[in-house]
Amino acid sequence: MPVYVALIRGINVGKHRRLAMADLRALLTESGYENVSTHIASGNVIFATPERSAASVESALEGALHERFGFAVDVMVRTEAQLAKIIDANPLVAGAPDPAKLHVAFLKEKPSKAEAGALAELRFERDEFALRGTEIYLHLPDGLGTSKTPGLILGRAVKVPATVRTWKVVGKLRELAAAL
């Protein structure tokens, strides 16, 4: 049975869209997903389902979340195998002495050629980024909280929904998914 990781965008950030992880686990379990677990309160869910289409899982989760909790959210779903490839493909690891400064932006879909071209033209003084398929790898030496790079990239150059996770969280999600 395929194992998936759902990355839910924009929950539990600030006062809006608050969602207890126990409620999220209950929703997925009631929806027929198996071995449901969460990792930290930022919307990371690991589960198994016989469904073979990540796009179908994304759509079903978005609908269930909206119906139960009353707000629309974007969900990005990756398989355990995809997470392993994402980790292996990070072109910025070698140049980042501090892994705490590495992040991955998970995109809802692959950017258009025009968006990818616009992204390729961007340059930042210290920050580095690399687009690989539906992920943007980020090396932010001054930290995510102070960098303007993600905001300039996501929503401006690339107009597809995205959610960002730290490199440590990406590794932990892959580990948890592999354990299922």
Q: Please report, for the domain that includes residue 107, its CATH number.
A: 3.30.70
pLDDT 10s digits, 72-89: 899 999 999 999 999 999
Q: How confident is the model at residue 151 (pLDDT cuts 50, 70, 90)?
A: confident
| Model pLDDT for residues 109-126, shown as the tens digit of each residue | 999 999 999 998 888 889
**Same domain for 16 and 98:** no
- CB atoms under 10 Å from CB of 158, counted, come to 21
Q: CA dist 116 to 12, 76, 146, 148, 158, Å?
A: 30, 19, 24, 19, 7
Between the CA of residue 4 and those of 38, 66, 145, 170, what are the distances in Å? 12, 20, 28, 13
Q: What confidence score (pLDDT) does residue 155 get?
A: 80
Last residue of a domain, one of 39, 60, 82: 82
The domain of 22 spans: 3-82
pTM over 0.85: yes
Among residues 82, 101, 118, the one where a domain terminates is 82
Return the CATH number at 10: 3.30.70.1280
Does one domain contain both 74 and 124?
Answer: no
Number of structural domains (the chain) is 2
